[in-house]
């Protein structure tokens, strides 16, 4: 796999940069979708999870519902529910 260097990016015109940006975004979405599908197969309702995000460090959630790309998690010890993307979830 060859990486695009800064010099190569500078030489590209705006249309080429837009196309490259679209391609990168498409690949990121595709990879996130794969991660979500894998996680969806590993998690069940009632499982304890944590979220890979600095704002939720040390907080534990219980899976209430599983959707295609997100899940509903209730924070342990509270009645607060969150809609959580599966690509940031880690099973405990």
Q: For the chain, which domains are there?
A: 6-91 (2.30.30.30)
Task: Copy the structure tokens of residue 22.
Answer: 């679209």
pTM above 0.85, yes or no: no
Mean pLDDT by 10 residues, the chain (92 residues): 86 95 94 83 92 90 91 94 90 90
Angle at Cα 81 formed by Cα 77 and Cα 83, nearest 5°? 140
pLDDT, position 37: 81
User: For 35-53, b where at least 16 C-beta lie within 10 A, e where not — what string?
Assistant: bbeebbeebeeebebbbee
pLDDT, position 1: 62
């Amino acid at each position: 796999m060859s990486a695009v260097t800064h010099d190569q990016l500078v030489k590209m015109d705006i249309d080429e940069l837009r196309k490259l940006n679209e391609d990168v975004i498409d690949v990121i979405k595709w990879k996130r979708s794969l991660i979500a599908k894998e996680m969806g197969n590993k998690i069940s309702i009632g499982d304890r999870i944590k979220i890979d995000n600095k704002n939720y460090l040390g907080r534990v959630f219980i899976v209430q519902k599983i959707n295609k790309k997100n899940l509903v998690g209730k924070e342990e010890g509270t009645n607060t529910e969150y809609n959580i993307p599966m690509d940031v979830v880690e099973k405990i």
